Structure 1
Amino acid sequence: MCPAGDNKWSYKAQKEAFLMTNICPQNGNLNQHDWKYLEEACRNWANKYGKIYIVAGPIFYSKNYTTVGENNVAVPDAFFKVILRLGVNSHDAKTIGFIYENKPGHHNMDYYTHSVDDIEQITGLDFFYQLDDNIENKIENINDFSSWR
């Protein structure tokens, strides 16, 4: 789920973006529009804030999912992306999360925003657990897209 355009530091890294371990079946309209805009925004935030940490992946709401192809590749119901930016000091840290249903959509980016805590609850994953618990608890429950514009 890491875009090849984010791996330009080496030919090998860019090529590895096309490995099956980094690919999920995604609605073409979503991939070419709303998800693409999120990927571009992440690049812009990396340039603006210096360093950001991104975790992205599929969401399966049910164990009864659609498959495609001879190998029965599972088609996710949705995709998540959570982003952490660290400021000059730990109190400047901010997070934002996004959930995009795996279907066409023509919405503004703020339509898809969620707190990181929301996405942790849906996925069962604990993102950014290396942060001090006080900071993690403070920033992961905020859904404030305006601080990322």
Structure 2
Amino acid sequence: MKTIIKASIVLTGLCFAHSANAANCLQGCPTGLNNGNTIERSIYTLKNNRYTKFADWVAYHVTTNTMSGPSRSRSWKADPDLYSHYTLEPNDYTDAYATINTDRGHQVPLASFSNTADWKLTNLLSNITPQSSALNQGPWVRLETAVRNHVSNGNDLYVVTGPLYEYYFAELPQANEAHTIPSGYFKIVMEQSGSTIKASAFIMEQSASRSDNFCNTEVSIDEVESRAGINVMPNLSYNNAQVIESTVFGLINELGCN
């Protein structure tokens, strides 16, 4: 039986100064991993990695107004705001499913922004990684659905998601540029109500089974930060960060895990 420690904290001494990308992030956008460009967009902020060719992290804010729009298409495009040798192009994904059984996996899910004018931005390849089909269509999408289910009840959620590179997974068979496919992924879900923050963090491997329960993959934010090399909420004071980032299960009930 798991001991449930609620990752909830009443924050004191917060700085509410807003940077240009603050709308997509809670307590500041992540810092660390300075190997590329940070791109701010209306519906997300991402940090591209020029060496792996994928985003180190993407931060976004899901509300009742951003989701529940009509069904949207998936038309993949290279990111026009990145040099071509810093990102991948649609042809690089040719034969990926047939040879390494991966999907074009959104880091920012299209369904969470289907009701926005800029939903097409989720289909830029800077927001995409080769994600195992079993993971993408199994526990990963169920976590994304759980986020939207909670938001549909009137609760805004902030999310930071990104890749881990802890072992070799595969290579895109038709890619003409050097790249590194992630071995796994993290997703941190955060909610602020007044001066209280709740958070739950998850790590899932590319080797995940389609039937895996995302609830069993929860970890602390500290573990994500250690393994990903980032600071998720840099504007938190040291004392506040010590509490909220070291504990787990803050949003476990809200995300449908009992």
Is the structural similarity TM-score above 0.5? yes
DSSP 3-state at the match of 1:16: helix
User: In the aligned structure 2, how far is the partner of 1:46 from the partner of 1:130?
Assistant: 24
Q: Which residue of 2 aligns with 1:37?
A: 142
User: In the aligned structure 2, how far is the partner of 1:138 from the partner of 1:87?
Assistant: 17
Residue deviations 1:39-69 (CA, integer Å, cap 9, x gap): 101112323462221111111014x553213
Q: Which residue of 2 aligns with 1:24?
A: 129
User: In the aligned structure 1, how far is the partner of 2:201 from the partner of 2:154?
Assistant: 17
DSSP 3-state at the match of 2:115: coil
Q: Which residue of 2 aligns with 1:10?
A: 116
Does residue 1:119 correspond to 2:233, yes or no?
no
Alpha-carbon distance change, 55 to 114 in structure 1, aligned in 2, over 3 angstroms: same
Shift of 1:73: 4.1
Report if the CA contact (8 A) 2:200-2:252 is conserved.
no
Moved more, 21-30 or 46-55: 46-55
What is the number of equivalent residue pairs in this alignment? 145
User: TM (normalized to structure 1)?
Assistant: 0.86
Shift of 1:135: 2.0
Report if the CA contact (8 A) 2:138-2:212 is conserved.
no
Report if the CA contact (8 A) 1:55-1:83 is conserved.
yes
Alpha-carbon distance change, 132 to 49 in structure 1, aligned in 2, over 3 angstroms: farther
Aligned-CA RMSD value: 1.9
User: TM (normalized to structure 2)?
Assistant: 0.52
Partner amino acid for 2:200?
I
Partner amino acid for 2:184?
A
Q: Which residue of 2 aligns with 1:77?
A: 183
User: In the aligned structure 2, how far is the partner of 1:85 from the partner of 1:70?
Assistant: 38
Query: Which residue of 204, 207, 227 corresponds with 1:103?
Result: 207
Partner amino acid for 2:232?
F
DSSP 3-state at the match of 2:130: coil
Higher helix fraction (1 or 2)? 1
In structure 2, stretches of 5+ residues that fail to align are 1-106
Runs (4+) off by over 6 Å: none
Residue deviations 1:94-122 (CA, integer Å, cap 9, x gap): 11111110124222222110011100000
Identity of aligned residues (%): 26
Greater Cα radius of gyration, structure 1 or 2:
2
User: In the aligned structure 2, how far is the partner of 1:133 from the partner of 1:95?
Assistant: 17
Partner amino acid for 1:77?
S
